[in-house]
Structure formats: structure tokens, C-alpha cells
Amino acid sequence: MPATHHAPVLILGSGPAGLTAAIYAARAALQPMLVAGLQPGGQMTITTDVENYPGFAATIQGPWLMEQMQKQAEHVGTRFVQDQIVTADLSRRPFACTGDSGDVYTGDALIVATGASARWLGIPGEEALRGFGVSACATCDGFFFRGKKVAVVGGGNTAVEESLFLTNHATQVTLIHRRDSLRAEKIMQTRLFANPKVSVVWDTVVEEVLGSGTPAALASLKLRNLKNGASSTLAVDGLFVAIGHTPNTGLFKDQLAMDREGYIVARPGSTETNIPGVFAAGDVQDRVFRQAVTAAGTGCMSAIEAGHFLARAEAVARAAQ
């Protein structure tokens, strides 16, 4: 029998944004309830070394950092729920979100911190060979390519980080990028270019992913050079797609104001959305920075703003009595 669970502050997402919002909301006695989603801990759980989260002089591990954040949020009194929200009704307060389990979660204020998911190339063969050589997570699947040849597509921090990580397992890593320069941080590029296992194919796109055998496994990639139009084939055992992420905001379409790419539009300098009482924190509303520390920062802002909103709403209700 589906149940309804209510909290003054309902938080969707358990990445750095949602967990930081939970820590601040709990410490402000707002009794937050957090729905963790399918990826408890968020994107940082699929990476290894983290060197830029302040407070740690030594390199730390992404999953460990998220475990610590979750423990901190629990310790101060956050109620955690393991469910994935499938529909949301933001037309009235309390806002109501229905989980995959059938349970309904309501909140007088809502913090949307559902983050972002890996983007795919959308080329022939990619979907059919996912799990059979095609992946979007080197940390998760790199081990399966011990002693093999792999390719990575992309030119950002993720692509470079995935390439470097894969050199721990694969014999050869080919980074394929559509332009002639990377957008990854310089320190990462220096490490990449210095690694003898890595070669970079510039100005090139993957047009098709080709499999062989039964069941079919990835065998090669059909490439095209964008400068001279030349086609070629690259034999690889693994393909790691690292071309960025799409914000997880489909649930809120036609309810929350979004930009063309689906990022929630928050009022500048704030996490307020177009619906009073609904706040957006982390990668869902950040098309520029998309870092754990900025997600945590906006998570903090959202909890403080949710607290102010509830206090104002209570004062209005009291005055009307």
C-alpha cells in the first residue's frame, strides 16, 4: 500500500548539492527528508582521485567523500529515503513527488538537486554495444579492459581523467576529440600528454561503433576527420564516452523554467526558481562550473533560502489568522 511521507523541506538528490542542503536544513531544525535516487552519492561516486575539494591536503577518493557527506547529513538528523522520483506536482503546496515505489513525498519547500547524467553520442551501434565494450564510466568498467586497447571520446576534464585512469588497465588509450584543443584543465592536459600509453586523435568524430562475434562485442570504430573528411577505422576493445552530462530535469518540464539545454533557471545570486518555495541546487542549475564544491555551495544556499521562505510563509499564515 503506497504511503505518503511529509517533511517541511523535501530534498531530491544525494550528490554534494543535496547532501549539503540536508546538512544545513537539518541544523536549522527544518527536519529535511532526502530522496536519494538511483545513484546514491551522485557523480562523485564514479570517480577515483579527488584533488580539488577543499579541506584535504592529500588526494581523497570520490566515493569516500560522498560517504562522509552522507554520514554527516545523517548525524545531524536528515531522514533518508531510497527511492527514485518519477512524477512531481509543483502546482500547489505542499509540493508532491511520487517515487518509483508508489510512495508520495511531500514538502512545504522543495530543493531539487537531481544533478546530471552522462550524455551519449547517439551513433549507430552505441546503444546495442553498451555493456559489451561501450561505457560511460571508466572507474566502473575500466578493469574489464586489462591488457586491451580502448578509446575515449571527449575533450573535457572527464575525458582526460578517464583516459589517465584507463592507462592503469589498458595497453593503449586513444583519446578522440572533435577539435584541435582540449578544454580540460592545463594540469590534466600536461599529465595526459606525458603518458606514453596515450595518443590523441584530433579533429575527429566517431561515426559508428562496430561489433563482432556472438553475442556481439565492440571490435572497431569508424572515424571521420572533420578537417579533411577522411574516414578511417580504429580497432579497439573498449569505448568510453565522456562528452559531458545532461541535467536530470525531465521531471519538471513545463513546471520549472529551464534554458534550452534543460538546466533549471535560478534567480541570479540565488537558488530560487520560478515557483516560490522550489529551489534548485548543484549541476541541475549550473551549466558553467559543475564542480562538487560549487554544488555543495548552492546546496547550502538552497537550504538557507528554503528556511527563509518557510519562515515568511508561516508569518503570513499567522497574520491571516
Q: Applying CB under 6 A, which residues contact ligand NAP? A: 52, 121, 153-159, 161, 178-179, 183, 205, 242-245, 290-291
How far apart CA 280 and CA 99 sit, in angstroms, is 19
Q: How far is CA 299 from CA 52, 75, 138, 219, 285, in A?
A: 18, 17, 27, 43, 11
Collapsing DSSP to helix, strand or coil, 157 comes out as helix
Q: Which is nearer to ligand FAD, 175 or 251 (CB)?
A: 251
Q: 89, 140, 180, 259: which is the annotated catalytic residue? A: 140
Q: Which does 12 bind (CB under 5 to 8 A by kind): ligand FAD, ligand NAP, none?
A: ligand FAD
**Of 35-43, 72-80, 126-134, 258-266, which part binds ligand FAD (CB under 6 A)?**
35-43
Collapsing DSSP to helix, strand or coil, 81 comes out as strand
Grid coordinates standing for 314?
508561516
Q: 108, 141, 237, 286: which is the annotated catalytic residue? A: 141
Shortest Å, Cβ 62 to ligand FAD = 6
Q: Which does 156 bind (CB under 5 to 8 A by kind): ligand FAD, ligand NAP, none?
A: ligand NAP
Q: Which is nearer to ligand NAP, 103 or 203 (CB)?
A: 203
Shortest Å, Cβ 14 to ligand FAD = 4
121 binds ligand FAD (CB under 6 A): no
**Residue count at the site for ligand FAD (CB under 6 A)?**
38
Q: Which is nearer to ligand FAD, 231 or 270 (CB)?
A: 270
Per-residue x/- marks for ligand FAD, 235-264, CB under 6 A?
A: -------------x--x-------------
- Let me know if 259 is a catalytic residue: no
Longest pairwise C-alpha distance within the chain: 75
CB atoms within 10 A of CB 187: 11
Q: Are 277 and 297 in contact (CB under 8 A)?
A: no
Shortest Å, Cβ 125 to ligand NAP = 15
Per-residue x/- marks for ligand FAD, 67-106, CB under 6 A?
A: -----------------xx---------------------
Q: Which is nearer to ligand FAD, 101 or 231 (CB)?
A: 101
How far apart CA 129 and CA 220 sit, in angstroms, is 11
32 binds ligand FAD (CB under 6 A): no
Listing DSSP states for 184-202 in one string gives S-HHHHHHHHH-TTEEEE-
Is residue 61 classed exposed, middle or buried when 0-12, 13-18 and 19+ CB atoms within 10 A define those classes?
Answer: middle
Helix axes 16-27, 62-75, angle to 10 degrees: 20
Q: Are 218 and 129 in contact (CB under 8 A)?
A: yes
Bridging pattern class, strands 231-235 and 217-225:
antiparallel
- Let me know if 140 is a catalytic residue: yes
Collapsing DSSP to helix, strand or coil, 161 comes out as helix
Q: Which residues are catalytic?
A: 137, 140-141
- Residues lying near ligand FAD in the complex (CB under 6 A) are found at 12-18, 35-40, 42-44, 46-47, 50, 52-53, 84-85, 113-116, 158, 161, 248, 251, 282-283, 290-293, 295
